[in-house]
Amino acid sequence: MGILSVLPVLIFTGFIASYCDASKPNIVFILADDLGWNDVSFHGSDQILTPNIDSLAYSGVAFGRYYSHAICTPSRAALLTGKYSYKTGMQGNPLGMSEDRSIPTNVRLLPQYFKDVGYSTHLVGKWHAGSSRREYLPTSRGFDTYIGHRGGYIDYYEYTVTEVWEDGPVSGLALFRNLSAAWDVEGYITDVYTDEAVKVIDDHDSSNPLFLMVTHNAPHAGGDTVVLQAPPEVVRELRYIESPDRRMYAAMVKKLDDSVGDIVRALQDKGILENTIIVFAADNGGMTTGLFANYASNYPLRGIKMSPYEGGVRVVGLLWSANLNNTNHYWDGYMHVTDWLPTLLSAAGVEPPTDIDGVDQWESINSNTASQRKTMVEIDDYTGYASITYGEYKMITGEPIQSHSEYLGGDLRGLIGSPPSYIDTIADSKVFGALHSIGRTFDMDFLGLRNKTIINCDASATSICYPSNDTVCLFNIIEDPCETTDLSSTYPELVTTMQALLDIEMSKRIPRIAPASIDRMSAPSLHNYTWDTWIN
């Protein structure tokens, strides 16, 4: 199908759901796991095509500077609370299945705010915010229903998680529906979560607004010793990708993109797409190498997941709504994962809480104006590093893992054939079809928007800065997004100012609720070979 014959010019409309309007928008939040910056095609690469995700970006708002925490559990805690993870004791390494800790139960979570104003609230997919006690589980924290894995990852076909304890591996089922083990489920986990999300939409009572979070496992590895997993027929479609590992990863991303298409189509079929806000985002940077490596690429950014460099924290993000004042644009303002709570509440006409770190960005996004955020902080006192962004500058101190601090992913770009036509792939996507049916597609200017998202770096740098506990690295991340040039000796007064601001934030830390430790009472053999709650 030729795109020129079916791409009408986007019709701009005003935002019709005012704060006093009784008809609140539905909200669907889709979260990818360990997706790299260079792994969506609206960022400029033709290697992995993501036409459904891209169509939302081109007809909505693509974020150029969306930031998250560098690791799974901290980023999800920040998303759910609107607070930096170190304000809730959830900073540092991700939660293990055998750990007894959670977001404190006296902290209100995003679904609780929406539930209080009449929303039906549902979670499909990864939780990773505490599962040792029933009061930590999603249905105790504001979600009406839940199906998914409670920990950080899951085998894509067997739905198991294996932890290696001192006396050997320990394994059990990790998929649950509400409070019960989901023994009856079959299929590829990305498809399972997609089908469950579609069912939530199909069964939704439209007299109430819908808040649905779909937190995919994809494209996270299915385990630390498990090879990447994708349907063979999808892998075969991607034979033009040179690296076999990258090809498998690309197949996982394709299934993720297909999921986005199916969810948007379900919203269209239900007749609620025009009154739905859709968010697609990654939880942190891609894990190119190391433990749980998935061969994601943050190219050309420096660093990967678990590092404070741009490749670890500057991630994929977009927002779509038919009722935005300004659509089809690239928003270059700072947006942080903590901002979602106040921003989405504001979009729903709900006054955001004031005791959070998140900033209400709804008006800035809606009208394509300057970001309300000037600073961002990353503190991992478990690994031993911290960073602060202040205007154009980012300062890093401490000792990030050096192998996570390099320039990685460039060697994964190889092709041994030609990818499909990008424009035709967009035109044939389910999201484009759904948008076309409601008159919300876009014209050929989207290629110009795509070019805006491409990051270019200075390859001439010869000396790369690594901080320590006694030294810092200072980068201008607007002019030098790949963090090649240290400016700490050039701007010592700025370093002093930023260090003082960081010290203030460090003083607000809540110590990690518990060290990473194994509670042997969590062993699946004690719970019908499932990773169920064990403290009640």
List residues with catalytic annotation: 72, 128
Backbone torsion region of residue 325, taken as left when φ is above 0, otherwise alpha when ψ lies between -120 and 50, otherwise beta = alpha
Residues paired with residue 398 on neighbouring β-strands, in sequence order: 385
Peptide bond into 300 cis (omega under 30): yes
The residue to which tokens 């993501």 are assigned: 50
Residues paired with residue 163 on neighbouring β-strands, in sequence order: 170
Report the alpha-carbon distance of residue 53 to residue 459 in Å, rounded.
30
Report the alpha-carbon distance of residue 22 to residue 25 in Å, rounded.
10
Report the alpha-carbon distance of residue 362 to residue 328 in Å, rounded.
16
Cβ 264 vs Cβ 434: under 8 Å? yes
The residue to which tokens 């989405």 are assigned: 344
The tokens describing 402, both together, are 């050096």
DSSP 8-state class, residue 530: B
First to last CA, the chain: 58
In 3-state terms the chain splits into helix, strand, coil percentages (rounded to 5) of: 30, 20, 50
The tokens describing 520, both together, are 């042997």
Cβ 285 vs Cβ 315: under 8 Å? yes
Cβ 342 vs Cβ 82: under 8 Å? yes
Question: Which parts of 5-109 fold into alpha helices (H)?
Answer: 51-59, 72-81
- Burial (CB count <10 Å: 0-12, 13-18, 19+), residue 194: buried
The tokens describing 266, both together, are 């379900």
The residue to which tokens 């800790």 are assigned: 101
Peptide bond into 420 cis (omega under 30): no
Q: Which amino acid is at 446?
A: F
Cβ 390 vs Cβ 279: under 8 Å? no
Report the alpha-carbon distance of residue 103 to residue 514 in Å, rounded.
11
What are the angstrom distances between the C-alpha of 532 and each of 98, 132, 140, 161, 522?
10, 7, 15, 12, 8
Cβ 428 vs Cβ 1: under 8 Å? yes
Strand, coil or helix: what is 465? Answer: coil
Report the alpha-carbon distance of residue 358 to residue 338 in Å, rounded.
4
